[in-house]
Structure formats: structure tokens, C-alpha cells
Chain A
């Protein structure tokens, strides 16, 4: 069974640029959530996708957007990058997305540095 994978592992961008991060969910999972983890902090929920529809959003501006594809993989897009966007971006998948008790399985993350 393949776990959650993310690409790229590291990325360096400059202020104002756009970035796309990718996530492949664990086999059999149809729900993907994205989190931002600033250095020394706990992860913050960005949004969740369930069967290709956004299914909840945290307190992030509209320049953070996402997609989920029919194979349940997902992208996180960030436009007009700011220095504070520098963080570890974590993707997590879960089997069905309809239970708060479900475990979310995390990928290794993409570390984004904005200069």
C-alpha cells in the first residue's frame, strides 16, 4: 500500500510568484486536506477536498486555492507569494472524509522558501 506522497520536497520562490504543490493520496482514500506549518508552530488547516469538491476552508486568503482530480490526487496553488508563506506544506488523506474520528495520514511535506 502506497502512502501519501508530495512533490516537490523543497522549493524556492521569490515574492509575487506563483507556486503549485502536488499530493497523491493513499490508495483507497477520497479525501485530501492541506495544512501550513510555519517553523516552530503546529499545522494550520488550509482546506479540504472530498470527491473533487472543496469541503471546508480555514482562515486563508483566496490566493490559496486547490484542486482535486478524479484519481483523488490534489494540488495546492498559491498566487502572489509573500514572505510569510515560507513554511512546510503538508497534505493528508483520509478514507471517506465523513467522520471526525477518521485518522488523517500525512505526507512528508513540501518545504517552501519565499525570498
Chain B
């Protein structure tokens, strides 16, 4: 079945460090890929998405490129801030015409220290 695997956390970085959170997926067909962020005590917010191979999603300095050949969608940011501390979830959706149920990874907690 379809699945998403993320690198385990927690990830602890100093402010202005470079961030990579790895995400790989297994899916039949051509899924859409998403990164969601969850701040403490809140629901999920869409961070970025990509809907076909080689697409790059970007938002708030975060980027991820849909790599079909490596079935990956790694999240990157060049310079993290304390306010980026949160849990990040990679997800896929692959059901056209029946609605897209999201399949999530287990989440990666990021802690950024001043």
C-alpha cells in the first residue's frame, strides 16, 4: 500500500542553520505531495505542495522538489529561525475522482535554538 517515511526527530538546530528533513514515499500512480506544519497545540497548516514530477513547491523560505526517480520530497530551508520550531509532516494524496485522502508520515519535530 501507499506510505510515507520521514527522518526521525527531534532535529535540533541553531538559528540560521540549514535545514533538511528527508521524506520518501511509496505509491502507485502519480501522487500529489505535501508538507504540513503543526505548531504546538494547533492543527495542521499547509506549508507547500507539488503535484507532478520535478515540480518545486516553495513557501516562507521552505522548498521541496518532487523527485519521481528517487520517490522523494525532501524539505529544505537555507536559514532557520526560532519561529520555525514545530512538527513537520510529509504527506501524499493519490485518489483522483474520489477525493484525496492524505497519507502522512510520522512527523519530524524541529527545535531551533537562538
- Give me 27 A-to-B residue pairs in the complex whose CB atoms sit less than 8 angstroms apart, sorted by A's number: A4-B43, A33-B99, A33-B101, A41-B107, A42-B89, A43-B102, A45-B101, A48-B101, A50-B99, A55-B98, A56-B95, A56-B98, A56-B99, A56-B101, A92-B44, A98-B99, A99-B96, A100-B94, A100-B95, A101-B49, A102-B93, A106-B44, A106-B45, A107-B43, A108-B42, A109-B42, A109-B43
State which residues 88-114 of B face A: CB under 8 Å: 89, 91, 93-107
Q: List A contacts of B82 (CB < 8 A).
A: none
Question: Is there a chain B Cβ closer than 8 Å to A58's Cβ?
Answer: yes
Q: How large is the interface on B (under 10, 10 to 19, 20 to 34, 35 or more residues)?
A: 20 to 34
Q: How far apart are the CA atoms of A55 and B100 in the complex, in Å?
A: 10
Question: Is there a chain A Cβ closer than 8 Å to B46's Cβ?
Answer: yes
Most buried by A among B49, B94, B102, B106: B102
Most buried by B among A45, A50, A107: A45
Q: How far apart are the CA atoms of A90 and B42 in the complex, in Å?
A: 10
Q: How large is the interface on A (under 10, 10 to 19, 20 to 34, 35 or more residues)?
A: 20 to 34
Q: List A contacts of B96 (CB < 8 A).
A: 98-100
Question: Is there a chain A Cβ closer than 8 Å to B51's Cβ?
Answer: yes
With A40-B106, A104-B102 given, name 17 new contacts (CB 8 A).
A33-B102, A42-B89, A42-B105, A42-B106, A42-B107, A43-B44, A43-B102, A90-B44, A98-B97, A99-B96, A100-B93, A100-B94, A102-B100, A103-B34, A106-B44, A108-B42, A109-B43
Q: How far apart are the CA atoms of A109 and B97 in the complex, in Å?
A: 27
